[in-house]
Amino acid sequence: MNARRQFLLAGAASLGLAAFPAIVRAGQASARIVIVGGGVGGATAAKYLKMADPSLQVTVIEKNPVYVRPYGSSEVLNQHVTMQDLQARYDVLRQKHGVAFVFDAAKSLDPVNKTVTTAGGKTLAYDKLIVSPGIKLRYDSLPGYSEQVAETQVPSGWIAGAQTALLAKQLQSMRDGGTFILAVPPTPIAARPARMSAPH
């Protein structure tokens, strides 16, 4: 195994992809890898899998063709960057690394038959599966709060996008000396890491 491949495998292990070495060492020609979620976790896994073994067939299922990155999104609030600066496309992953994309939402997983079905009715077979769906806010856990309220009046600021733009607009339009409230979620904050299915 050359130094480049060892580096990629070590990097994958540090990202928590415990089953990553098993995939690239399996000797299975053109193994099919399906990744649900094209955010930071899913896109990073796709890139480094292809770099470690270009023969892998890596497909990412992601409902948004343009990703709005959360990292650095707070800089929109002080006008250091614009909302457009936060937009990232998947062109490099497709053209340079050969990652395939299905722009749709994953609807169901069948671990017995090893398939993923999308909301649009497309079924993808896999040999290994990575599920990296990102976060979803529980708006109903706060009495009187809802996604509709967050999108139009009191943005959470946790998920980059429309709420980021709204929060920036609200802060920038405040009068000098105005007051705003910043609430921090109770600890511990639970985040779902990317997960890879165990070998069958």
C-beta of residue 52 within 8 angstroms of C-beta of residue 12: yes
Bridge partners, 23 (sequence order): none
Close Cβ partners of 39 (under 8 Å, ≥ 6 residues apart): 62, 67, 132, 134
Q: What is the pLDDT of residue 198?
A: 44
Among 2-16, 98-112, 154-168, the range scoring the smallest mean pLDDT is 2-16
Domain 3-72+87-136 in this protein, CATH class: alpha beta
Domain positions in the chain: 3-72+87-136
Pairing of strands 115-118, 106-110: antiparallel
- Mean pLDDT throughout 155-164? 86
Residue appearing with tokens 């340079």: 96
| 3-state class percentages of the chain: helix first, strand second, coil last, to nearest 5 | 30, 20, 50
- Mean pLDDT throughout 35-51? 95
Q: What is the pLDDT of residue 27?
A: 47
CA distances from 188 to 3, 58, 95, 185, 191 (A): 39, 34, 40, 8, 9
pTM listed for this prediction: 0.73
Bridge partners, 67 (sequence order): 88
Where does the pLDDT of residue 4 fall: very low under 50, low under 70, confident under 90, or very high at 90 and above? low
Q: What is the pLDDT of residue 74?
A: 87
Q: What is the pLDDT of residue 95?
A: 95
